[in-house]
Each structure stands twice: as structure tokens, then as C-alpha cells.
Structure 1
Amino acid sequence: MTRLFTSSCCFLFFLTVLSGCQKKEFDAFYERPAGLGDPIYQQLEARGNFKHLTAVIDKAGYKDILSKTGWWTFFAPNDAAFERFFKDQNIKGTAEINDSMATSIVKYALVYNAYRKDQLSNYQMAGGAETGLGFAFKRKTAYYDWVQQKGDGVRAKVIATNRNVQSVRGVNTSAYVDGDNNNKYIPYFTTAFMATGGMSAGDYNVFYPGSTYNGFNVAAAAVVNMDISAENGMIHEVDRVTLPLKSIDQYISSNANYSEFKALLDSLKFYVSNAYQTHRNFVATGSSDSVYVKGYNGLLAYSINNENYQQPGVNSYLANESQKSSWTIMAPTNEAFRAYRKKILAKYGNSFFKSTPPSIVIDFINSHMWPTALWPSKFAQGQNYLLETTTLSLDNAVDKQILSNAVFYGVNQAHSSNVFRTVYGVPYLDPATNLTLLAYADGGSGVKIYTTQPGVRQTLLVMPDAVVTAAGYRYNEGSIGTTTTAWGYRTSPTASYSHNQIYRDNAFRLFKTGILLTPTGELTSLGGSGIVESQSGDYVRYRNGKIQTSGTVDTGIDINITKTDATSINGIVYYVDAPLAFTDKNVGQHLQNLATSDPTRFSSFYWFVSTSSLYNATTKAISGMNTGIDNKYTMLVPDNAAITQAIKDGLLPGTKATGALPTAAPTAEAQKDQVRKFILYHIINGESVAVDGKKADNYLTLLQTESGDNTLLNILNQPSNLIITDRAGRTTQVNFSSSNQLSNRTLIHSISNYLNYNK
């Protein structure tokens, strides 16, 4: 028993010693490292020059938070900063700072996570990885607005959206994320960030003219003592107090100079009730009022009350993107807004956007929105949401601010958007040409991107809606389906509309025929004569103010100009009184018509075509010549004298001695093959070449050799003559007065010699 007791005592002693050793090791491992500063609050208190700040922290209820564990960056205003603040706010001291202001001062100076100066310039990806060294100039603070107790109309409680509203086919959907408080960001400017962005102190002082840039500034404040390490974070001493910056929405709402621009934005507000925030607000305040999330139409570049940066037009969200990215907005003053509104809405009564298509409001606002931070030294370089550089200069910016979610410029002149100032804007801003606008704006037509280029001279022929509808076309979004389109057509006023892809393509062809390709300069007058290619691939002829298309060639009725608009910066627009119709007939029909009206030039060639195996006498189609949208041709028709010579030279069947045409269609295979080769070699495949001095090159013909090789013609183009060189090196010229004949995406020319397909 004694032996057992002794052994037990020894064991207990051993455990006591071992336990004591482990405790010492445990304490040593978790012992507070030597040299680590006290927590943030204790350090501020001990330093002696933050008496005002610690009093404000106490009033805000943040003493306990800043005295314990955590991981913060605190931009701490010293006593001198508060003395300046008292003077600026016309208050006597901290006693006159209410709890709400105290909380906003502390929380907006408090940034999540601890950063030294050299770390603040680094953009952090999700998960903490750092990249984009020198790219960052903002960090998320502990401050957020939450529910506003005064709403809009029947909405008593409103909270700002934390994601941009999404728009799918014009339908807005809230993308608000519960649990994200839409915290505000605080801006700072370091030497690394300024160097990476190619900026200088001048950029900073545009926004903070009363401050001195010292290489590390937080908003208008200068950091006077940086990288003060604390147990629960990092302190940077600053010489000014910074109140939470306003968002775009808050700033223009509080500034009467932008009330008209704000009213236009208000017309695009989007509200959705939110059960989660309604419950939170009930728990916090006892109010049972519904809380509504307020955003802005998803067709805008961004919601101006969203504190979280999102790339415009992209629904996905990157968590820390706001560290390095910012929006920019240029807000016209009321006077500038009214002047520009009057200018662009002249055809809508000069006064209000509410009577215009919604797209005009969207485009007007988006043209004043930039998807990136537009710094003063880069003012004329960045592109807005519509991919335009500004038409203004920094001198037009009468109000320059860094806001919580954007760079802000209040401007004394509205940006002049390309969609309004170019020829595209003429039908866009005219209620009488809405159908033309719908076709131009459709991405499938390709018109908008071409006509809105301010540096490319343009000529447009525009059909009023009355002309388009009289031609049988309409636009009805209710008709859109899996196999149907908004564009419809009816054959007569009493017939029903049919909506399909063919009629959509036909409508686009009609409108695109009015987009004349005049890269060397717009047609300032249609009083002379000429021929111009259009974006549809069809050619348009004009003479003495009259216009001809392939469709009017069929009817024999020319188109008249009713009005001219020369207000655009890149060209001229002519209004016309009839549709820019295209023919639905095959080329053989027009060749037959020419053989009747001008037999000396066209009848012999037509005889060979009409009697050949290539010709369909019923449809008037020539084999190899298709009528699809991507098919264009040029037919070079030897006149009768040239055909006579070709017969004499043995390239065509007939009486070789006299050059007379055969008395009947050739039946011998060799002769039929001669005719086939001759016709095909006189048709350029894939291009319509007008006699206008423009297109000149080697062009493929429809003829292929027995070995399958393509054959070519060389064309030298002069304003009133084509010089064509064939495979044998022989040349011929056009009979100008009988050339430039319009057919179905085809031009027909009379030439004075035949082309030899034999090399």
C-alpha cells in the first residue's frame, strides 16, 4: 500500500511538472509579440493629438471595437484636422457633433483589413491574392447608408441597389444581393497609383484645389504619419476630417444645378420590394413599411446609386473590382441641358423627352456615362458607354468631384453624341421616320455602326414612315415568334401582313439602299447626274434631282426629293417621296428590255443569251447568276458591231464571212459551247462595277476553263469610261451613254468590242 501511495505521488508530481512545462510553452507560443503596438484606440489615446477623434469614437460607440481584436486600416484625423473641421462646419467642438455624424466620421475612416501605404495601391482579387500593382485607389469602408426613411411617392422606405439592374429584351430585373450592405468606398492617391496611371499632382488638384498632393492623400486630406502598426490593424494619421462621400445619385439630388438632368434620370428609376430588408428594418425600427430597392433602368450603363463597381453591360460581379475601377459621369447643368434638349428635340416640339422614343433618353444619358475613371489629364481620350470620346474639354467642367462611386464632372455644355450629331441622328430624331430608325438601330442591319462615324462623310436617302407603310411594310413587335419577325409585309391594302425572315431582309434592303457609299465626300447636290453604290449592294442613279433604283426602272417612275437636311456633322440627308424599291426580276428581263429600247447596243447579245442553254425563257434567269443577298454581278454587253466581229473571228456561230447572226439557235455542241463561254466570260462574278472612276482591279468572270481554273478581266475605271482588258491582252471600252443600266444587284454596260475568252 505504501509503495502504491509513493508511486502515485511521484506520478502526480510528474504530471504537475509536465503540465507546468506545457503551460509555459503554450503561453510562450501565444504570448503577445514584443514590439507590437497597442490596439488602435489605445494608441490614439496615448499619442495625445487625437483627443477630438477619441471623443468622436466614444460618441459613435466604437471604442470597444477599436480597443480589441480586429483587422482594420484607420485613416485617423488628428486634432488639427478636427479644429479645421469645426471651423468649416461652423460648430464649436465635439459636443456639437451628433451621434449620427460621429458614426459616419468613424465608419468612413475605417477600412476593412490592415494595409500599409505600399499595399493600398495593389488591387486584390477575390481570395486575397494581389495583382495589378499600382492600380488601386479605393478601399471599402465600414460605412453604408442602409434604409432611407423617406422614399419616393408611396414608397416610404427605400434602399439603394448594390448591383446594377439587369435588362433582358427591355425587361428590367433587380439583381440586388441580400447581405451586401452597399458599403461606400474611400479614395486615396499614392505615388504608385499616380505613376501607374501616368498622372501627376495636377490631376489630384483638379478635384482638390485647396489641398497639397504629398504622395499619399486620402480624399482632400494628406497623410502626415503613415504605417503606424497596431495590434488590430494599421493607422495612417491625416490632416483633415472626411465625411462620407456622396454617390452620383446623392450628389445630383442635393445640387439644384442638375435638377433637370436628375429629373430625366428619375424617369428611369426602377423599384422592387425586398422582404429581407423589410424584416431587417422592422427589427431595427419597429416599422412595418415595405422597403424597396431602388435602381435604374438596366439599359443604362450603371445604376447611379450602386456603390459596387460593375463593368457596364456585364451582369457578373467581381468582389473587389471597386478598388481599381470607377465610373465617370458628366452631368449637364440645367442651362446646358435645356439648350441641348431644344436642339436635338426640335422635331418633337423642342421641350420634353417624354414624347420621344425611350431609346433617345437612354442614349442621351449613356452618352454622358463612362465605364472607367476619366482623369483630367486623360479627359479627351477615354470612351463613354457608347464608345465615343467626349466633344467637350476640361474647360467645360465647372464642377469636378470625386464621389463614392464615380468621377463627377458638372459640365456647362452637353456632350454631343454621335447618334444625334451624325446623319444617323436625322431619322433618329424625326418622329416621321421611326421605321427607318428601327431598321438602322437593328444590329443585324449594320447601318448604325457605319452612319455614326463622325469622320466618314455620308449621304442618306430617307423614306418617311408614310412611304414605307404605303409600300406594304410595317413593324410590329407583337408578331415576333420563333419563326416570325417584327417586320411584316402585305401585297395590298386589303391583304393581311405576313411576318417572316424574307420580309425582314427585304425591309433592310429597302432601307440600306438609302445608305449611299460616298467615302470621298457626301453628295451635296443631286442636280447633275451620276451613279452611287448603296450599302445594300444595289446602285442608285440620279439625274436632275430625280432618283432611280432597279425597282423604279421596272415601273418607269422616278423618285423625287422632298426635303434636304444638312445639319449633321458628317453629311447630308435627302428625304424622298417613294420607296427605294429593288427589282424582283431576273437580269434576263432587263437585258430583253434594253434590247427593245436600244437594239443597236443590246439586241445581238440578247439573241445569243435568249437562245442559249444558260437561259430560262420563263423566269428570264441566266444560269450562274443568283439573286441572293451576297451575289453581285457586272454584265459587259458587246454592241451589235462587236458581236458581228466576234462571229467573223470565229468566237461565235453565224455567217463568218458577213458576221450575220445564225438563223436559228445553234444545235451543234461545239457551237453551243462557244455561246456559253462567250456569255459567261462577259459577266463579272461577285462585284458590281459602275462607270464612276472608283472600282478597278482584276475580276473573276463566271467562266471557268476545262481544267476548272477561273478566268479574269482587268478593269481600269475612269469617271466616264471603263477600259477592259481580256485574257488575250485585247482592250475595249464602254459606250458610256448606254452603260450603268440597273438590274437585280447587277450593272449592265454596253462595250464597243467583244472580250476574247481564248488565251
Structure 2
Amino acid sequence: MAKKIMHRKSLIILCMIMAVFGCKPDPLEYARPDDLAGTIYTQLESMGTFDYYLKSLDQTLYPEPLKKGGSWTVFAPTDEAFEKFMSDEGFATFDAIPQERIQHLVENTIITDGWNTTTLTYFKSRFYLGQSFRRRTQYQAANREFDKDTLQHIFEWDKLDQQKYLMNYSNGRQKTVDYFLDSYMSTWGVEYSDYDFMFPGETFNEGDMKVFDANVSQKNVIAENGIIYALDKVIEPQPNLYENLSAAEYGGKYSMFKKMIERFAEIRSLGDQINEETGELEEVFQFRFYTGVENDALPFNPFDENYATNIDGTLAQAWGFLAPTNDALISYLDGNSILGQFYDSYDDMPLDVVGKFLSPYFFNDYWDICPSRLGQSYDTSLGLVDYKLEDVVDKRFCSNGFFVGVNTVYTNNSFGTIMGPLLLDENYSIMLGAIQDLGIDTALQSKSSRFTILGVKNDQFVDVADPNSATRKITVLVDDPRLPPGYDINVSGVVYMEVTGDPGNGNRIYPDPEASSPSSADVAYVTKTINDIVLNQIVDEDIDFGSNNYYQTRSGEYVYAFDGNSAAGGGDIQLGRSAQIVETKETANGNFYEMSSIIERPLGFTYSLLVDNATTFSSFLEVLESADAFITIVGSDDKLLNFLNLSRTFTLFAPNNSAVAQAISDGVIVDPSTVDGLDDLDKAIAKRDLLNFARKHFIQQALPTDGKTTGTFASMYFSKIVDFAEIYDEFSVVNTTSSISITNVESGESVTTSGITNLFSKRVVIHETSNYIK
């Protein structure tokens, strides 16, 4: 047995020796083929038209990588391209080109990995044709030293404690090389004419490949370690959008716009780093730009080489960027602009105002400001910008986007519309906050509609009726010794409101200024109250103050405009007063009026208005009382109607005493004064009939005599139910500025207002009728 095992081991060892030493590859089979293309460097040598580019390479560290291995793509300018470059730049010989410039242009022509014209358009791991048009080059801007005195416009400049700052000018980013191919352009809808627009003097034809404004004369030249593209121009590193604002050829004509952008920049320390030139440790700093339209900052960072949103889209996307000239900015502010009404200089504008002003100049994609997108140029905030080709004075495709200089200022939806005065005048901060909290600020910036705002300043919220109470009044405290020390209503974000007239123990300041933090319930009450007051100052149409007519506000209540400059709400009419126009600001979508006082909503509910006019409506009041239609309000003499949902608005065509007497005579209802003497069954029937009689006179639509509101509307009376739904009587309305007639659609019976019209109670407009509704 032992001999057998030893024999088996010997066989195994012999097999292993044969496997290792007996199978040797044929060296000819694995030898480098004679016809294999050389490496990139040797391939360029053999092509014979890249001598200047090779000389450029030899002045850098790139010959070795391009000779020996790796994987690269090279965009190599031909000798002819170099000769044109030297001629254009005034270099008599190649040796006259500064070495630093040679270094930069070489780094700008080399990208990592070998990419053919198909794979160049892939985006990261998405192997879809036509997705990308950019790759990162080897070029990264070197550190630069800045003097404090050249940075006076940046954020918190006055806190800089050094005179000199060594800046990491690249922010760790590499610049890109941009190329245009049919597959990419068709995927993203970029027209050939768009390319021609972006690169003046160049024409894109089917089948072309361009690198910026250079023609690719040879594509997909295969080398052992990569791919070569021959260019007919020398392509140097392009400035980014921010850098381009101070390009020498512009002569400083974008300096004002640049200063505005720099107000969002700050300097941050990156700590000590080794200076590659000196070998010493030095503190290095970095420019940071505040971004985020939700915070009224820059929509994106024009200094950043990366296209960074929720993902790194650098290889597939590039920003669009408009820049108004100094002359355009000056003309706009000196002209009849909304900003010019508030500020004498752009430097005087608060940062949030500057942020809103800059918004229309930033676009998510460069093609948004190309000819094929004219009429649909939406900025990063989705605002439509009235951008026209005749406004263009300069163009350059930069390293991170497309720069277009314009000789005009594009009005921002925020400032150019009726929201402008609210945004620009801090005296309207309460009204602005309410509109933003209600979420209607975007709608009020729409230029497709017209609006009117009756402006309420912070100090005008004084002794105003609480819209949700029959007794309370409120006053917003702007400057009061009871408020926390240093309180500023425009900074705090908390609005303090004093309440009087509460029937219980609610007469106090909301929220409690002595509390360590505001009560959420108190804040909610203040917010709701202020919002409801502000809604009564906004009308979704133009007001003609000479019309002596009624206009519905966003609260659902009405304002009466008269005498050319006066307005009165329901409460003002009851009190015999009105508000006058102090100043008018015309905007792109309506007029903003500074008013002498707030527009008061109606002060009382329907009950109190009927009581105030009891000589006319005492019988109808008795109908409602006998029908048990009223709900008592604690602490108030006023009452609510139990069949009305006051989240909506209504009209009461109130029959006068004669009309009610006629209804009693006709046997439609019993005399309300006799109800209590009836037996239980007859009393129940009488109360039902009285309630139905009352409900017939309420229409589910507010109808003042404005001559405008017409149509068919339901009453509050229903005689049948179908599929669990009440079927209300319907009435057609004929409305003039002096009377209203309503006709029962089914019976044809009509009534017309007479006597008293346009009594405004909370959510209900009241008109007198001499006939009852049948």
C-alpha cells in the first residue's frame, strides 16, 4: 500500500513539472504586430503635421505618458493652426510664446482615457449616444494672490484682517474642453444655427465635429494608447463665466454686473498648504459664492467649473448666462423703473433685492439663450425672460457655460410686477410676509393677469377689526416698550399683535413677548388674522377709481372705489369713512396703491346688519328668529345663521316688511308672531316653512350691483334630494350698477332689488326686495 501511494505522488509531481515548464508560448504569436499604430506621441511624429504641438509637449511633462502608456485623448492643433495662432497673437516665432502659455494650452488639449466620436458623447455610466459634449482636461488654474483692496465688493469685506490672500483659484476644479457632434446636438435639440450663433464666423454642417470654434480635420486617429483629433485652431483654456466679465476686450463694460455678483462671494480659509514653488507652508484661501434662489442668492456659481446640481452634470450640461452692460444698468436705474423709485445705486440695494434682480440672467442650460429657444427663454426660476437677439453685444462659450452680453436690463417678475413695491419697501414687510405665507406671491408675479394691491404698511395695522370675530380688534406692535429688547419687525420674523375687545380673557399681546419662545398657537392665530386682513387688500383685476363701483377682493369681500381716489370696504362703509390713494406705482401687471388706511372688511354678521335696518327688515328678522335660524355668539349681540357656511360668500335678497306681509297673506308662511301659540306638530311645520322661506332668499354667490357678475346661481333652498345630493333652486341673474333681477329658472318667477342695496355683512351682501321669492 505504501508503495502505491509513493508511486501516485511521483506521478502528480511529474505532471506539475510538465505543466509549468512544458507549455511555453510562441514568442512570435504574442509579439507586437508590425502594423500596430504607435503611441500618441510617435503617431503625431509620423503624421508630420504636428511639429509645433510636439515642441509644445516637449516643454511639459506629458511626452513620457504619451509615449509609454496610459489611455488618453488628444486634441492636437496642426502646424497650420499654430502658425495662425502665432500670427494672431503677435509671436514672431514659436520660441516667443511664453512657456506658461505653452503649458496651459497643452494641458487643455489632453483628456484622460481614449474616446472615439461615439463614446465621447456617453455620460458617465450611461452608454447612450448623444448625452455629453464635454470632458475634463488636465488644466487646473494655479493659485493666485489677491490684494484686499481689490475685493471691496465681496460679502463682509470689512472683516478681512489681511492685506494679501493666496487664493486656490481653481477651487480644485479642472477646466473642460467642449465639442459638438451631430449625435449630441440632435439629442438635445441644439440647432446648427445655434452653434453658428455661439461661435461667430463659424458654420456647423452635417457630419462636422467642432471643438469650441475649431474644426476637427481628422477624427478618431487610433494610437496604441489613445485617440487623436486634429484641430485647425489652437484652443487655450477658456475663462469661466465669472472670469469673462473682466475680459480685457470688453474694456470693463461689465464691471457693475461683476460687482453685484461679487456681493455674494466670501473668502474662506482652506488652512495651510505647501507652496509647490517655495516648498513652504502657506495659508490658502478660497472664493465661495452663496447660491440658492430660495434664499435670494445666486442661482448658480458662475465661478465654478463644475455643473453641480443634485448630481454632477458637468460632462453633459453647461449654464446660460446673460450680462447687462454698465450703460444698460445705469439707464435702467435712472429711468422709470420700479427699482429706480427706491434706490439711487445698485450698491444701496439689500442683498436679497440684488439676488432677485440677478435671477433673470441665469439659465439652467446654454441653449436657453440660443436662437432656437427665442420666446421660451426661461431662467433658473422658470421666469420667462424677454430676451431678444438684437439685445446681444458680446458672446463667448466659456469653460462652464455660454456668456452673452446684452445692452438692456430684463425686468424681474418680482420687481417688474405688482410684487415689486412689497419686495423693495421694508415698510410693507408684514403684508409681504402674509402674501408669501398664503403662497400667492408667484401668482401675483404673473404677467398674463392684472391685479390691484391696496398697500398696507406695517404701522397701519392699528385698531383693525379681527375678520374672524364679532368683537375683537387688533393692533400690530411695531415699536413698543413691551416688546423684547432690540426687536426689529423686519429682522425678527415674529409679528406681535395686541388684541382688544375679546369677550373672554383674551385681551393681551400675541405671542407673549415675555415668553422664552413664541407659542405656536399664538403665532398661528396672528398669522391667520393678518393673512385674512391682507387678502382684503388684493383684487384680481384693475380698479377704476372713477367708476363708483364694487370690486371683489381675494378675501371674497368687496371694496367700493369712487371719487377717483377713494376706496371703502364693508366696514368702512358702515363707519362712514374711506381710504385715499397716497401714491400710485404702475407695474407690468397692475397698479400698486399706497393707501391712507387699511380697507376694513365688514364689521358685523347678517343679523346685526338687519337689526341696524330693522325699520325695513324687522318682519324678516322675525321669520329667521321664529325658524330658529340664528346661533348666539358668546360675548356679542351679533348672531350667526345656522344654514350658511361662511367659508363661502352669499347674497340675501331680503324681503322688506311689506313683502313678508304679502307672503303671510298668500298663505306661504304663517305669521311668525303666532308660532309659539301653535301645538307641537303645527309649530314644527310652521318653523320648517319659515326656514325654507328664508333659505329661498339666499343665493350662493356674492352679488353687489356691479353690472358685471351675471350667470345662473343656486339658492339655499332645495325641494328634493337625488342620489343623496340636494337639488337647489336655480336663479338667473341680470346685474346692473343700480339693480339686480333674479329669475327662477324653473318657474320663471322674478324679483328685482328696490330700496336698500349693497349692505355688506360678513360674507353676505344684502339687498332689499319689495316682493318675496316664490
Query: TM-score, normalization: structure 1?
Result: 0.83
Question: Counterparts of 1:355-754 in structure 2 under 5 Å?
Answer: 356-373=349-366, 374=368, 375-430=370-425, 432-440=427-435, 442=436, 444-468=437-461, 472-473=475-476, 486-491=494-499, 496-498=509-511, 499-518=522-541, 522-523=542-543, 525-544=544-563, 545-565=565-585, 567-583=586-602, 585-593=604-612, 595-596=613-614, 599-600=615-616, 602-617=617-632, 618-627=637-646, 630-654=647-671, 662=673, 668-685=683-700, 687-692=701-706, 693-699=708-714, 701=716, 709-710=725-726, 711-720=728-737, 721-726=739-744, 729-735=747-753, 738-754=756-772
Greater mean alpha carbon deviation, residues 430-439 or residues 540-549 = 430-439
Secondary structure of 1:274 counterpart: strand
In structure 2, how many angstroms separate the alpha carbons of the residues matched to 1:421 and 1:557?
Answer: 33
In structure 2, how many angstroms separate the alpha carbons of the residues matched to 1:340 and 1:674?
Answer: 68
Instruction: Find 2:281's aligned residue among 279, 287, 290.
Output: 287
How far apart are 1:464 and its partner, in Å? 3.2
Asked if structure 2 preserves the Cα contact closer than 8 Å seen for 1:479 and 1:486, the reply is no
Instruction: Find 1:263's aligned residue among 244, 253, 259.
Output: 259
In structure 2, how many angstroms separate the alpha carbons of the residues matched to 1:92 and 1:143?
Answer: 26
| Shift in CA distance, 352/10, structure 1 to aligned 2, threshold 3 Å | closer
How far apart are 1:209 and its partner, in Å? 1.9
Tell me what 1:167 maps to.
none
Greater mean alpha carbon deviation, residues 100-109 or residues 392-401 = 100-109
Greater mean alpha carbon deviation, residues 668-677 or residues 206-215 = 206-215
Instruction: Find 1:134's aligned residue among 130, 154, 158.
Output: 130
Instruction: Find 2:316's aligned residue among 301, 324, 348.
Output: 324
How far apart are 1:562 and its partner, in Å? 2.3
1:159 aligns with 2:178: no
Asked if structure 2 preserves the Cα contact closer than 8 Å seen for 1:296 and 1:304, the reply is no
How far apart are 1:587 and its partner, in Å? 2.5
**Over residues 650-703 of structure 1, what are the superposed CA-to-partner deviations in whole Å (9 max), with x where a residue is unaligned?**
33212xxxxxx6367576111111122222333345x43434322523436265
**Over residues 521-558 of structure 1, what are the superposed CA-to-partner deviations in whole Å (9 max), with x where a residue is unaligned?**
x23x3123111111122211223243221332443322
Instruction: Give the residue type in structure 2 aligned to 1:662.
Output: S
| Shift in CA distance, 739/418, structure 1 to aligned 2, threshold 3 Å | same
**Over residues 498-528 of structure 1, what are the superposed CA-to-partner deviations in whole Å (9 max), with x where a residue is unaligned?**
352122122122222221122xxx23x3123
Asked if structure 1 preserves the Cα contact closer than 8 Å seen for 2:377 and 2:386, the reply is no
Tell me what 1:3 maps to.
none
Asked if structure 2 preserves the Cα contact closer than 8 Å seen for 1:161 and 1:293, the reply is no
In structure 1, how many angstroms separate the alpha carbons of the residues matched to 2:227 and 2:55?
Answer: 20
In structure 2, how many angstroms separate the alpha carbons of the residues matched to 1:66 and 1:37?
Answer: 13
Instruction: Give the residue type in structure 2 aligned to 1:729.
Output: S
| Shift in CA distance, 407/751, structure 1 to aligned 2, threshold 3 Å | farther
Tell me what 1:350 maps to.
344
How far apart are 1:269 and its partner, in Å? 0.8
Secondary structure of 2:365 counterpart: coil
Gaps of 5+ in 1: 1-6, 163-180, 655-660
How far apart are 1:455 and its partner, in Å? 2.4
Instruction: Find 1:300's aligned residue among 287, 298, 301.
Output: 298
Secondary structure of 2:282 counterpart: coil
How far apart are 1:231 and its partner, in Å? 1.9
Instruction: Give the residue type in structure 1 aligned to 2:534.
Output: F
In structure 2, how many angstroms separate the alpha carbons of the residues matched to 1:372 and 1:563?
Answer: 41
Instruction: Give the residue type in structure 1 aligned to 2:605.
Output: N
| Shift in CA distance, 273/751, structure 1 to aligned 2, threshold 3 Å | farther
Tell me what 1:24 maps to.
25
Question: Counterparts of 1:43-62 in structure 2 under 5 Å?
Answer: 43-62=43-62
How far apart are 1:240 and its partner, in Å? 0.6
Secondary structure of 1:117 counterpart: coil
Asked if structure 2 preserves the Cα contact closer than 8 Å seen for 1:653 and 1:666, the reply is no
**Over residues 16-43 of structure 1, what are the superposed CA-to-partner deviations in whole Å (9 max), with x where a residue is unaligned?**
7644564417995x76577542221111
In structure 2, how many angstroms separate the alpha carbons of the residues matched to 1:347 and 1:185?
Answer: 43
Asked if structure 1 preserves the Cα contact closer than 8 Å seen for 2:394 and 2:404, the reply is yes
Tell me what 1:173 maps to.
none
Asked if structure 1 preserves the Cα contact closer than 8 Å seen for 2:140 and 2:170, the reply is no
Greater mean alpha carbon deviation, residues 490-499 or residues 669-678 = 490-499
Secondary structure of 2:256 counterpart: helix
In structure 1, how many angstroms separate the alpha carbons of the residues matched to 2:121 and 2:291?
Answer: 33
In structure 2, how many angstroms separate the alpha carbons of the residues matched to 1:287 and 1:503?
Answer: 57
**Over residues 42-80 of structure 1, what are the superposed CA-to-partner deviations in whole Å (9 max), with x where a residue is unaligned?**
111221211111111121211112123222221111111
Tell me what 1:204 maps to.
195
Greater mean alpha carbon deviation, residues 544-553 or residues 235-244 = 544-553
Tell me what 1:79 maps to.
79
Query: TM-score, normalization: structure 2?
Result: 0.82
Secondary structure of 2:441 counterpart: helix
Asked if structure 2 preserves the Cα contact closer than 8 Å seen for 1:732 and 1:754, the reply is no
How far apart are 1:228 and its partner, in Å? 0.7
How far apart are 1:460 and its partner, in Å? 2.3
In structure 2, how many angstroms separate the alpha carbons of the residues matched to 1:129 and 1:25?
Answer: 40
Instruction: Give the residue type in structure 2 aligned to 1:604.
Output: S
Instruction: Give the residue type in structure 1 aligned to 2:66.
Output: L
How far apart are 1:420 and its partner, in Å? 1.9
Question: Percent identical across equivalent pairs?
Answer: 23
| Shift in CA distance, 468/282, structure 1 to aligned 2, threshold 3 Å | farther
| Shift in CA distance, 746/60, structure 1 to aligned 2, threshold 3 Å | farther
In structure 1, how many angstroms separate the alpha carbons of the residues matched to 2:754 and 2:35?
Answer: 96
Q: How many residues matched?
A: 697
In structure 2, how many angstroms separate the alpha carbons of the residues matched to 1:65 and 1:388?
Answer: 49
| Shift in CA distance, 369/706, structure 1 to aligned 2, threshold 3 Å | closer
In structure 1, how many angstroms separate the alpha carbons of the residues matched to 2:144 and 2:677?
Answer: 92
Secondary structure of 1:647 counterpart: helix
In structure 2, how many angstroms separate the alpha carbons of the residues matched to 1:703 and 1:586?
Answer: 24
Asked if structure 2 preserves the Cα contact closer than 8 Å seen for 1:160 and 1:305, the reply is no
Instruction: Give the residue type in structure 1 aligned to 2:53.
Output: L
